[in-house]
C-alpha cells in the first residue's frame, strides 16, 4: 500500500486524486492547495485530509507525493520532497530553467528518492502500442516521424507568460515522445513559428503555432507541429515512416456515431482535451508508479528525461529566435 499526499487540487490534481482513491494498493492521505477550499473539496470527494505543505513532508504516513501545482513551484517542491525522502510523481516541467533543473536533479540523485515525470503520452494505450510495434521492428528503421499536437484554444495570456512558451510548456510532450520513440538523442533542432491564435503572445517572445525539425545521429528526421488553437478541438496524431512501413496513430473519439444526410457524412470532434484524451494514461501511469515503488524499481520517465525534453524545448526556442538550426551540444555548453 502506497500512501499519497497530493500538492495541487486543480484540474490535473483532481484527476490524480481520483485515480489514487480508486487504485487498490494506493491510498490518498493528504491534500495541499494554496486554495484551502479546493483542497477540502478534493479530500471530501476522494479521501484523506487537508494538510499544510510542511505537514505533508513531515508525515510518517505518507510514502509518495504527487506534484500537480503550477509549474513555477515544482522545483522547490521536488527539492523538499527529496529532502524528506518521499517518492515523487511530478507533472512536467521540473522547471523552465535548465540550470535549475540540473540542480534539482543533482539533489534528487543525492537523496536517492524516486522521481517520476508524468509524461502522459507514454502511458496512453495507443502511443504505447505504436512504440511497441516500432521497437519490435514492424516498420523497420524509422526515417521520418511526424507528431501533431494541437490544443482547442490558447490558455490565458498570463499563463502563457509564466509558462515559458509553447516549446517548453506544450511541445515538451512531443519532445519526450520523440526521444522515447527513437531511443537516441536528437542532435540538432530547427524551429519556425508565429502567433496566429493570439498575437498578444508575441510580446513575451513566444509563439502559438510552430513547426520543429529535429534530426538524430542515425539520421531520423523528426517533425513536430503544435498549435495552441484548433477550431476542431484536441488533435493528437503521430506517424512513423520507416524502412519497412508506416505506423500511424489517429485521434480518439467519445462515440463511434456518424450521421450522413444531404450535406455529406459527419462525425464528432475528437475527445475534448487532455483530461478526456489521456484519462486511461493517467490511470496507467499512476498504477505503474505504484508498482515501481512496491517492487523497488526506478520509474521511467525519470527526472533526466524531464531534463532532456526541456533541453530540446530550449534549443527550439533559441532556433526560432535566431532563425537558424541550433545544436543540442551548443545549448548544453551554455548552461
Question: Does 296 sit near its own copies (CB under 8 A)?
Answer: no
Residue 45 in grid coordinates: 470527494
Footprint of its own copies on residues 138-167 (CB under 8 A)?
138-141, 143-144, 146, 150
Please state at what angle helix 74-84 crosses helix 98-111, rounded to 10 degrees.
10
Span of 48-56, 171-179, 243-251, 301-309 interacting with its own copies by CB under 8 A: 243-251
Closest CB to its own copies among residues 10, 152 = 152
> How big is the CA angle at 110 (ends 105 and 112), to the nearest 5 degrees?
95
| CB distance 293 to 87 below 8 Å | yes
Given candidates 161, 213, 275, 283, which one binds its own copies under the rule CB under 8 A? 213
Closest CB to its own copies among residues 90, 230 = 230
Closest CB to its own copies among residues 163, 225 = 225
Footprint of its own copies on residues 312-331 (CB under 8 A)?
323-325
Given candidates 85, 125, 217, 330, which one binds its own copies under the rule CB under 8 A? 125
The Cα-based distances of 99 to 7, 95, 118, 314, 326 in angstroms read 24, 9, 21, 11, 18
Could you give the CA distance from residue 298 to residue 17 in angstroms, rounded to a whole number? 22
Given candidates 45, 73, 300, 302, which one binds its own copies under the rule CB under 8 A? 45
Closest CB to its own copies among residues 55, 213 = 213
| CB distance 278 to 121 below 8 Å | yes
Buried b (16+ CB within 10 A) or exposed e, 264-291: eeeeeebbeebeebbbebbbbbbbbbbe
Min dist. Cβ of residue 136 to its own copies (A): 11
Question: Does 217 sit near its own copies (CB under 8 A)?
Answer: no
SS3 (DSSP) at 165: coil
Footprint of its own copies on residues 46-75 (CB under 8 A)?
none
| Number of chain residues interacting with its own copies (CB under 8 A) | 65
Could you give the CA distance from residue 326 to residue 146 in angstroms, rounded to a whole number? 20
Question: Does 40 sit near its own copies (CB under 8 A)?
Answer: no
Closest CB to its own copies among residues 58, 291 = 291
Buried b (16+ CB within 10 A) or exposed e, 180-195: bbbeeebebbbbebeb
Q: What sign does the CA torsion over 135, 221, 93, 14 have?
A: negative
Question: Does 254 sit near its own copies (CB under 8 A)?
Answer: yes
Closest CB to its own copies among residues 254, 335 = 254
Span of 1-9, 70-78, 95-103, 216-224 interacting with its own copies by CB under 8 A: 216-224
* H/E run at residue 75: helix 74-84
Footprint of its own copies on residues 174-193 (CB under 8 A)?
190, 192-193
Given candidates 83, 84, 269, 275, which one binds its own copies under the rule CB under 8 A? 269
Please list the residues that pair with 238 across neighbouring strands. 147, 249
Footprint of its own copies on residues 192-211 (CB under 8 A)?
192-194, 196, 209, 211
The Cα-based distances of 38 to 8, 34, 41, 160 in angstroms read 9, 8, 5, 23
Closest CB to its own copies among residues 56, 171 = 171
Residues near its own copies (CB under 8 A) are 22, 24, 45, 125-126, 129-130, 133, 138-141, 143-144, 146, 150, 190, 192-194, 196, 209, 211, 213, 215, 219, 221, 223, 225, 227, 229-232, 235, 241, 243-252, 254-269, 323-325
Amino acid at each position: 500500500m502506497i500512501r499519497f499526499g497530493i500538492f495541487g487540487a486543480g484540474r490535473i490534481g483532481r484527476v490524480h486524486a481520483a485515480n489514487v482513491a480508486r487504485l487498490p494498493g494506493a491510498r490518498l492521505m493528504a491534500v495541499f492547495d494554496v486554495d484551502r477550499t479546493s483542497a477540502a473539496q478534493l479530500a471530501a470527494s476522494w479521501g484523506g485530509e487537508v494538510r499544510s505543505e510542511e505537514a505533508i513532508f513531515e508525515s510518517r504516513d505518507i510514502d509518495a507525493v504527487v506534484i500537480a501545482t503550477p509549474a513555477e513551484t515544482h522545483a522547490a517542491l521536488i527539492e523538499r520532497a527529496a529532502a524528506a525522502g518521499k517518492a515523487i510523481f511530478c507533472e512536467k516541467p521540473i522547471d523552465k530553467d535548465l540550470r535549475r533543473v540540473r540542480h534539482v536533479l543533482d539533489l534528487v540523485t543525492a537523496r536517492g528518492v524516486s522521481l517520476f515525470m508524468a509524461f502522459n503520452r507514454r502511458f496512453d494505450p495507443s502511443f504505447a502500442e505504436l512504440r511497441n510495434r516500432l521497437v519490435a521492428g514492424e516498420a523497420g528503421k524509422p526515417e521520418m516521424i511526424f507528431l501533431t499536437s494541437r490544443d482547442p484554444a490558447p490558455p490565458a495570456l498570463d499563463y502563457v507568460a509564466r509558462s515559458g512558451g509553447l516549446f517548453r510548456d506544450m511541445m515538451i510532450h512531443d519532445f519526450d515522445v520523440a526521444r522515447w520513440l527513437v531511443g537516441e538523442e536528437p542532435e540538432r533542432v530547427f524551429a519556425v513559428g508565429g502567433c496566429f491564435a493570439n498575437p498578444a503572445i508575441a510580446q513575451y517572445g513566444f509563439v502559438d503555432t510552430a513547426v520543429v525539425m529535429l534530426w538524430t545521429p542515425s539520421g531520423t528526421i523528426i517533425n513536430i507541429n503544435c498549435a495552441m488553437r484548433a477550431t476542431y478541438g484536441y488533435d493528437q496524431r503521430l506517424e512513423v515512416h520507416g524502412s519497412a512501413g508506416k505506423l500511424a496513430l489517429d485521434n480518439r473519439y467519445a462515440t463511434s456515431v456518424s450521421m450522413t444526410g444531404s450535406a455529406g457524412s459527419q462525425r464528432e470532434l475528437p475527445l475534448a482535451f487532455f483530461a478526456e484524451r489521456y484519462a486511461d494514461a493517467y490511470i496507467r501511469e499512476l498504477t505503474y508508479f505504484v508498482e515501481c515503488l512496491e517492487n523497488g524499481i526506478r520509474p521511467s520517465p525519470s527526472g533526466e528525461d524531464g531534463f532532456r525534453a526541456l533541453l530540446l524545448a530550449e534549443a527550439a526556442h533559441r532556433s526560432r529566435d535566431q532563425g537558424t538550426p541550433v545544436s543540442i551540444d551548443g545549448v548544453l555548453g551554455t548552461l
